[in-house]
Amino acid sequence: MTKKVTSILVASAFALALSLPVATSAEPGLPAAKAPTAKALTTAAQDRDDRERHPEIRDAIGLLNRAQDRLNHAAHDFHGHRVKAMQHISEALEELHKAQASDRH
């Protein structure tokens, strides 16, 4: 079951990542955005970790909810595969909510 949930999470995150637009500068001559430094990324991650114990689970829930919404508004059924994928996402969300609840006890 864990392998199935992991596969679903990875596939959903991958599909969502491919569907998101890449942020680039459309106008020439505009300065490129600076990439955050490793120190800034570490500090941001540490701040977030201090607030909650498992931010990865919260992030996965957010990604799965977005994937579910995108699939829900898809124009095509894909021969039942879209509905089946949505069911798998619902199962994964259920497991993640159970994981959060079990950590509180």
Please report the DSSP string for 54-97 in residue order.
Answer: -HHHHHHHHHHHHHHHHHHT-S--TTTHHHHHHHHHHHHHHHHH
Task: Look at 42 and 55; give whichever has higher pLDDT.
Answer: 55
| Average pLDDT of span 51-67 | 91
pLDDT at 100 over 70: yes
61-92, pLDDT tens digit by residue? 999 999 999 999 998 889 999 999 999 999 99
pLDDT at 15 over 80: no
